[in-house]
Structures are given as structure tokens and as C-alpha cells.
Amino acid sequence: MTPETVMAGERRAAFDHLRLEGVTRRFGSAVALSELDLRIEGGEFLALLGPSGCGKSTALNCLAGLLPLSAGSIWLDGERIDGLPPERRGFGMVFQNYALFPHLSVRRNVAFGLSVRRVGKAEIRRRVDEALALVELTEHAGKLPGQLSGGQQQRVAIARAVVLRPRLVLMDEPLSNLDAKLRVQMRTEIRRMHQDLGLTTVYVTHDQEEALALADRLVVLRAGKVEQIGTPEEVYTYPSSTYIAGFMGYRNLLGLPAVTTENGRVVVGEGAFRLTGVPQERVSGPRAVAAVRPEDFRRAGPGDRNTLDVRVEVSEFHGREVAAEGVTEGGHVIHFRLPERVAPGERIELAVPVERVLVFAGTGAGTRAGTGARTGEAAGPADAAGPEEA
């Protein structure tokens, strides 16, 4: 995790590992973060992922020292640091609203941390120039934050945090206030900077795409608790619950009774409708949830076995493909994607590979979709629009 780079300075991570043990934070009687155990390796890019209100910012603020812990401890290599105030931790933080100092020019914003540390004038100048060049803001150095666009402000915030070569960089949804195009661009910039500067980064987001694209490892949170930890590939391909499946783009979460289980395969279905999949946990009882991603469906051809008939209800043109919604005989809504247009009302047969149907144990009173589907799906858009407490 320490590639050769163009930037001068120490490229090796400043510590071996950071350990969180039973980190808990309560607000009154509400538990915002519950017994978080986590080990962050030096040089790693870790993403904390989850819907709004699941405790991501709380976890980050606890790490930064901006929120005292209700219980638990934080260790940096051998040293316990959860009692240190934020100014003595040496962690850089990028805030969701950037939190640039409005009365200071871009240059003095970036220089702030260095001048607090009484670094020499010439040294400050050199390092600030370097940081501004890194985020391509050299010609805006004299402006006040209010005179910059959102993307530029965001880059100032990043430059301000990384110019100190912090041991750990904490980012709280740094891209959520940018438009879609800029977001993808900045995402790449952040990843590049992480590699070039040999940083250790903890990145908070509610956007699964962002987390998958950026992180070496993902921590998915749900209501203050860890739901799954793994590489992007692991979490994406093998979500550990319907909740995570819903979050990872498994839009079809079909609540169906399990019919048979054998040879590591499980068949779910009702009436004439049958779907074979891979059980992700012990599936028993009348209820199971089959999770399928829209892009794993294709139009059935001769010889396809795992198929279902749907009547197309809505179809949206998305450029390279068509996203459509259909209904099965039994009333289950199916989201799928096809390379060509389908007309509403058309009846088509879809096929899906057995290993791309993940079957979870049902969560009791599931109706059409597992309960996880609701929370998972509601998370994305509601989060983006919702007001955000720090």
C-alpha cells in the first residue's frame, strides 16, 4: 500500500494499525454507535457505509476526538488515544460542508494547520504551494472560500487536511454536496491522492457505488452496529444479509417460501413460480428471501433452466441498456435490465444464473419483498436529500 510516487515526503504509513475496541456512543438513551470493534491497517482505505442516521458520522467524530466515547477505547499501535483532544491526535478531517474558514483566503486556509504548528514561513509557503498544485487550485490561492464553486471548496478542504501529512485522514461524505459528474471525478482524485501520498483514509458515505469504487475494505453499518466487513468484491458478491443485499444493488428481494433444499441449492417459489438459488444462511421455514440484482437477469434462451415469466409494466431507456419493471403471475415485482427496449404489456421470459440468486432466511412477516428491501432501498435517495446532523 505504499507505491512509488511523485510527491516528496514520507510515503510509508505513519503507523501500523489503529484499533477500536467496543467503541460506543450514546446520546441520552439513544445508542448512536454500539460496541464498534475495528482494526484499521496503516495505508488502508476503509469506507464506512450505511444509510443516514446509522452512526457513520458518530464513528468518525469519535475517531477524530470531536465526540467523547460513552464506552470503549481507541488504540494507535500500542498507545491509547481516545482521551486525547482532537488537536493532539494529528488526524486530518474533511467535513461534509467543508468547514472552510470564511475569513481566510484559500492559501491561509491551507496554511492554517502549519501555522498553528509554528512551521517556518518558507516551509509553509513551499508545502502550501505543493498542496494547492496537487488539487489544481494554484490560481485561486488569493480568493476567499465564498468566491469558489462547491467543487473548488471541496478541494481546498482536502488540501487543508492533507498538507499536514496526517497519520489518518477522515472524510465525512465529502462528495455529497457535488453534482454527479464532479462526484465521479473527485472520487478518482481522492483515491489517487490516497495512493500517491501513502495516506491511511477512513471514508464515510451512504453511497454504495462510491464506497465500492474507493475502498480497500468496507464496513457496513446498520443502526449503530457493524453488519458486514469485507473487501468491495466480497460485500458486493456475497452480502451477508438482505439488508446489505438491498444496499448493494440487489433491488429484487423476493419474499417466497422455501420449497426444497439440497446439494447446496435451495428452491423457492409459490404456485407455478420456481426459482433456484444459493442459500447464504440456513434457510428453513415457510419464508425465505431471494435477492437478485437487476443486471443479472437476461432474456431466456433455449436451454435456460432458472426462468420466470413477467409482464412488462415500465421500461426506461438508460443509454446502453433498458431498465424495466415487470410483474410475475403471482404479483411479485421484478426489476431487470435488458440491452434492447421492451414494450409495456409485453410478456417475456427472463433467466438468471443459479449462483446469482442469493437466498436468505426470511425475516418473519415479509410480504412481497423482505423487510430488508424496504430499509435498503429507502436508504439511498432519502439519505441524499435528508438533513444531516454532524
Partner 1 sequence: MAVDTERTTPGTPRAPRRTGGLRHRLAERGVDRVLLLLVPALLVVILLFLYPMMYGVGLSLQPQKGGGMLANYRAFFDDPYQRDTIWKTLRLALPAALINVGVSVPIAYRLRGRFRGRRALTAILVLPVTLGTVLVADGLLRYLGPKGWFNRILLDLGLVDQPVRLIYNYWGVLFSLIITGFPFAFLLVLAYMSGIDPTLERAAATLGAGPWQRMRRILLPLLAPGLATTFVLAFVLAFSVFPSANLVGEPADETRVMAIAAYQSAFEKYDYSMASTIAVLMGAFELLVISVTLLVRGRLYTGPSAGGKGA
Backbone angles phi, psi at 142, to 5 degrees: -90, -5
Of 144 and 259, which CB lies nearer to partner 1 in the complex structure? 144
- Of 315, 339, 340, the closest CA to residue 327 belongs to 315
Of 27 and 101, which CB lies nearer to partner 1 in the complex structure? 101
SS3 66: coil
Output the smallest distance, CB 40 to ligand ADP, in A.
18
Name residues whose C-beta falls within 8 Å of residue 323's C-beta, 6 or more positions apart in sequence: 294, 315, 316, 335, 336, 337
Output the smallest distance, CB 381 to ligand ADP, in A.
14
Supply the DSSP string of 85-132, one letter for each residue: -GGGT-EEEE-TT----TTS-HHHHHHHHHHHTT--HHHHHHHHHHHH
Let me know how long the chain is.
390
**By the rule CB under 6 A, 55 interacts with ligand ADP:** yes
Of these partners, partner 1, Mg ion, ligand ADP, none, which one is at the site of residue 164 (CB under 5 to 8 Å by kind)? partner 1
Asked if 311 and 347 touch (Cβ cutoff 8 Å), the reply is: yes
CA pair distance 114, 110, nearest whole angstrom: 8
Residue from 11, 13, 44, 56 touching ligand ADP (CB under 6 A): that is 56
Residue from 22, 68, 150, 364 touching partner 1 (CB under 8 A): that is 150
**By the rule CB under 8 A, 306 interacts with partner 1:** no
Of 134 and 220, which CB lies nearer to ligand ADP in the complex structure? 220
Buried-state track 76-100, b at ≥16 Cβ within 10 A, e below 16: beeeebbeeeeeebbbbbbbbebbb
CB neighbours (10 Å) of residue 27? 12
Of 327 and 390, which CB lies nearer to partner 1 in the complex structure? 390
Residue from 13, 46, 58, 246 touching ligand ADP (CB under 6 A): that is 58
Of 57 and 241, which CB lies nearer to Mg ion in the complex structure? 57
The interface mask with partner 1, positions 62-101, x = CB under 8 A, is --xxx------------------xxx-xxxxx-xxxxxxx
Of these partners, partner 1, ligand ADP, Mg ion, none, which one is at the site of residue 90 (CB under 5 to 8 Å by kind)? partner 1
CA pair distance 333, 331, nearest whole angstrom: 6
Of 156 and 248, which CB lies nearer to partner 1 in the complex structure? 156
- Of 72, 66, 65, the closest CA to residue 389 belongs to 66
Piece in contact with ligand ADP (CB under 6 A), picked from 12-20, 53-61, 102-110, 186-194: 53-61
Asked if 128 and 106 touch (Cβ cutoff 8 Å), the reply is: no
Name residues whose C-beta falls within 8 Å of residue 87's C-beta, 6 or more positions apart in sequence: none
CA pair distance 21, 277, nearest whole angstrom: 37
**By the rule CB under 8 A, 24 interacts with partner 1:** no
Of 98 and 112, which CB lies nearer to ligand ADP in the complex structure? 98
Residue from 9, 16, 27, 126 touching ligand ADP (CB under 6 A): that is 27
Of 27 and 317, which CB lies nearer to ligand ADP in the complex structure? 27
Output the smallest distance, CB 8 to partner 1, in A.
21
- Of 349, 239, 226, 348, the closest CA to residue 290 belongs to 239
Contact set with ligand ADP (CB under 6 A): 27, 32, 50, 52-58, 389
Contact set with partner 1 (CB under 8 A): 64-66, 85-87, 89-93, 95-103, 112-113, 116-117, 144-146, 150, 153, 157, 160-161, 164, 170, 176-177, 387-388, 390
